[in-house]
Amino acid sequence: MIRLGVDLGGTKTEIIALDERRTELLRRREATPAGDYDAIIALLVRLVRETEMEVGKRGSVGVGTPGALSPATGRIRNSNSACLNGRSLKSDLERALGREIRLANDANCFALSEATDGAARVSPVAFGVILGTGVGGGVVVNGQVVGGASAIAGEWGHNALPWPRAEELPGPRCYCGKTGCIETFLSGPGLAADHLAVTGEQLAAEAIAARAATNEAASQTLARYESRLARGLASVINVLDPHVIVLGGGLSNIDRLYTNVPKLLREWVFSDVVETRLVRNYHGDSSGVRGAALLWEN
Ligand SMILES: [Zn+2]
């Protein structure tokens, strides 16, 4: 039996086929039809059919998506791909494909991939973090995703930034309706907005990171980011105390986070020692789509 994973992103949709040993047989990426739910369903069905044709086998199908299914309605909510919200994505896709599928939040899929055979393998409790266009998180305990009672476990991005400083209040407005959410500070757009507000310089997050080694203003922007990331993660550690925190998403490529943030945690974690390791993902860009396939691991 092969396992297919689909990562349904806001701008791109990726499919992967894994064999029994989790070896990648095929991977393909296409643009996500913007704002068109029916076209998204059609794309997912076509990708699954074409992949199965190409590898010559039928597979299980796991799907990672922003947001999650509401246990109350069976419909997607909390997705920043707004056209998915209110839609019965799982049952619509099952009807279209004629089989049961498994569907999970994309950050949960990322955490599952890293905990299964990536940077968090053999860690009993792992917290996976996406620092990208948005900020998400997923909890994996003993190799199993912890979905939670309301299917929001790990969703730390829309908590308020902990231990805020005066200049961080009330914080930027968030699409969720609140202000000062962790996501508004720690996402790529959040980092860029902070740099713009302080320096007047309009730069994308990657450009700020690239410049930080030689440019004092960019370096200070990253220092503010590191302080906020440390506070955000310290509040997670105080609740979950994971053995490892794995970073994913575009901002996880900033090397200095892995040396600077651990030093800052001590100030906020309610413990004499912080044994939680902060590590970079192992599977890179393919972690989310692998994790979707691995929803059928157990
Ligand atoms: Zn929010």
pLDDT digits (tens, 9 = 90+) for 30-63: 999 989 999 999 999 999 999 999 999 999 999 9
What phi-psi label fits residue 249: left (phi over 0), alpha (psi between -120 and 50 degrees) or beta? Answer: left
pLDDT at site 11 = 87
What is the 235 CA–ligand 1 centroid distance (Å)?
17
User: Separation of 109 CA from ligand 1 center, angstroms?
Assistant: 21
- pLDDT for position 186: 98
Say how many Å lie between the CA of residue 297 and the centre of ligand 1: 32
Count Cβ neighbours within 10 Å for each residue of 198-223 and write b for 16 or more, e otherwise.
eeeeebebeebbebbeeeeebeebbe
Q: What is the pLDDT of residue 178?
A: 97
Question: Are 44 and 61 in contact, with CB atoms under 8 Å apart?
Answer: no
pLDDT at 121 over 90: yes
CA-to-CA distance for 108 and 185, rounded, in angstroms? 21
- Distance from the CA of 189 to the center of ligand 1, in angstroms? 13
Would you give the end-to-end CA distance of the chain in angstroms?
13
Q: Does position 80 have pLDDT exceeding 90, yes or no?
A: no
Per-residue pLDDT reduced to its tens digit, 167-204: 999 999 999 999 999 999 999 999 999 999 999 999 99
- For residue 16, report the distance from its CA to the centre of ligand 1, in Å: 31
60 CA from centroid of ligand 1 (Å): 34
* pTM summary value: 0.96
Q: Does position 298 have pLDDT exceeding 80, yes or no? A: no
CA atoms of 194 and 144, how far apart (whole Å): 36
Contacts of 272 (CB under 8 A, 6+ apart): none
pLDDT band (50, 70, 90) for residue 258: very high
Q: Tell me, in angstroms, the distance from the centre of ligand 1 to residue 177's CA.
A: 6
Q: How far is the CA of 172 from the centre of ligand 1 (A)?
A: 9
Q: How far is the CA of 107 from the centre of ligand 1 (A)?
A: 16
C-alpha of residue 53 to centroid of ligand 1, in Å: 41
